[in-house]
Each structure stands twice: as structure tokens, then as C-alpha cells.
Amino acid sequence: MHEGRVTEQYLNNALDAWRDLDATERDEDEFETRRAAFEHAMNDLEQAVSSASRAEERERRRTAIVASEMERQRWAMELHDETLQDLGALRVMVEGAVQRGDTEIMRNSLVMASAQIEESILGLETLIHMLRPATLDQFGIGAAVESLVERMNGRTDLNIEVHIDLFWEQGRLPSRLDSQTESTVYRVVQESLNNAAKHSGASRTSVSITETGELVTVVIEDNGKGFSAFEVNGGRFGLSGMRERVDLVGGSMVIDSTPGKGTCVEAHVPAVHIERPATRPSGNV
């Protein structure tokens, strides 16, 4: 038996043994023999199913680890390319001014250093917000996505339209979505918008987050250049991480994109609600 695979043989053996048992006339010895054969076939099938479940769980953990490591690498590169280089330039600037000992040069250097520090602070604030925005924990998905869109509309060429209809945010339920569900929805929107801004060449993007019954549906569409099926399935643009996040909460995701025809990301995740302290955003988000 190959671990992790439930073959037709085990299922067919169990079905055959059941038919033999069902067809057995009331001969006690023959009945016991066929009953034992049926129990043996069912035991084989149960072991095969259990082996498949273990293999699936191992693969799930492996994929989660790979996605986590890729995300760690991404943030390490962001910190290296932005914050670390800014701090290095700042040190060179200050050290150069000190070595020259000229008061005017030192004054100008301090002014430039102050501006550099301000820029670095803004960069760190952006990274922190991307890692885990405080708005998400305090006010929920609606406020967090609105804040994300406001910032992206201000610093990219995207024109992003948003529609959000969630039960807790609209006051239709007393409990909000649980933390993992909210994080998953937010990351799908964030990654999709980042891809649209960096890779698609899109001018318009729409974000829709709606809760209906037991599901939250997230749809992000853009009018960009799209990409091929190979790029969709090959793990490019953080798509594998998005799929893994959605899969881990028991959801599903479809990415529809072809070159020249834009991209549509659609995710469905279970609407798991939980009572927890939170500040409800005022008005509609």
C-alpha cells in the first residue's frame, strides 16, 4: 500500500466482500468466513483512508511552512532595501559632517538627516501596517480595508472602488468575524491590490467584500494586462500564499486572468463569528 493514496482496489475489495456477505445463505461457517473477509477489507480501506489523511495533513503543514518562509523572506528584503539602506545612508551623512567639523555643513547635514529620519519613520509605519494593521484588530475588516485603499489611492496610479457589506460592521450581528477569518480576508485584498499596483499596469480596481449566510465573498477585479495560466499556477505574485491562507480557514479561491484581459480574484471563506472586545466603526464602511 502506497502511503497517502486511497486506491480503487481497497474500495472494490470492500464492496466485493460486502456483496459476498450479503449473498451468503444461512450456512454459519461460510457466513463467518465471508464476514471475516469483509472486516479485513474494511480494515484495509480504513488504513488507506487514514494514511491519506496523514499525508494530506503533512502536505498542508509543509505548504504552510513554505508560505511562511516566503513571507519572512519578503519582509526581510523590504527591511533591507528600505529601512536598512536608509539608516546606512543616514550614518554616512552624519559621520561625514562630523569629520569635516564645519558648522554650516553640520547644520545642513542635520537638516537632511532629520528629513531622512522622517522618511524612514513613514517607511516603517507602512511596513508595520502591512504586517498587521492595528485598525484591523480594533475596528474590523471594513475600516482596515478602507484605510488600505486610501493609502494606495494616494501613492499609486490605481483608482480603487470599494464595496463592503459585513454583518458586524453594519450592526446586523453582535459578534464580529474571528481573527483568522478577518486576517485572511484582509491579506487576500492586500496581496491582490499590491499585485495590481506593481505588476498589472491597471488604472481601475474594484474590491467587494460581502457576507451572505455562512460565507464571506471577496472579489477583486482590475483592468490590467493580466497574466498567463502558468503564472497563476506557478506561485508568482504571492498567489500561493493567498491560496494557502484561504485553504487553512476552509475556504476556496479562484483566479481568473488571461493576458490583456485583466484579473479577477474571487475567494469564499466561512463566516465564523466570535464574541470578542472591539470598537464598532461608526457609520457605513
Whether residue 255 is contained in a domain is answered as yes
Tell me, what's the pLDDT at 133?
75
* Confidence class for position 219, pLDDT limits 50, 70, 90: very high
pLDDT (tens digit per residue) in 5-35: 455 565 666 666 666 656 555 566 666 676 6
Whether residue 50 is contained in a domain is answered as yes
Q: Are residues 142 and 127 in the same domain?
A: no
Whether residue 222 is contained in a domain is answered as yes
Residue 65 has pLDDT above 60, yes or no: no
Q: Are residues 180 and 99 in the same domain?
A: no
* Confidence class for position 78, pLDDT limits 50, 70, 90: low
Q: Are residues 115 and 26 in the same domain?
A: yes
Whether residue 280 is contained in a domain is answered as no
**Domain at 260, CATH number:** 3.30.565.10
Tell me, what's the pLDDT at 248?
83
Q: Are residues 90 and 200 in the same domain?
A: no
Specify which residues 256 forms β-bridges with: 264
Domain boundary among 81, 98, 131: 131
Q: Are residues 120 and 177 in the same domain?
A: no
Tell me, what's the pLDDT at 284?
46
Phi-psi region of 271 (alpha: psi -120 to 50; beta: other; left: phi over 0): beta
Whether residue 285 is contained in a domain is answered as no
Q: Which of 50-64, 126-140, 215-229, 260-274 has the lowest mean pLDDT?
A: 50-64
Q: Are residues 228 and 159 in the same domain?
A: yes
Q: Are residues 266 and 147 in the same domain?
A: yes
The Cβ-side half-sphere exposure at 76, using a 13 Å CA radius, reads 6
Coil, strand or helix: which one is 164? strand
Higher pLDDT, 145 or 86: 145
The mean pLDDT value for 237-257 works out to 83
Q: Are residues 17 and 92 in the same domain?
A: yes
Q: Are residues 53 and 85 in the same domain?
A: yes
Domain carrying residue 208 = 134-274
* Confidence class for position 194, pLDDT limits 50, 70, 90: confident
Distances (CA, A) of 161 to 42, 65, 158: 55, 34, 10
Whether residue 194 is contained in a domain is answered as yes
Q: Are residues 103 and 177 in the same domain?
A: no
Strand residues in the chain grouped as ranges (E):
159-165, 176-177, 204-212, 215-222, 252-257, 263-270, 273-274
Tell me, what's the pLDDT at 253?
93
pLDDT (tens digit per residue) in 89-131: 777 777 777 777 777 877 787 788 777 777 777 767 666 666 6
Whether residue 282 is contained in a domain is answered as no
Domain count, the chain: 2
What are the backbone dihedrals phi and psi of residue 207, each rounded to the nearest 5 degrees, phi first?
-125, 125
Q: Are residues 123 and 166 in the same domain?
A: no
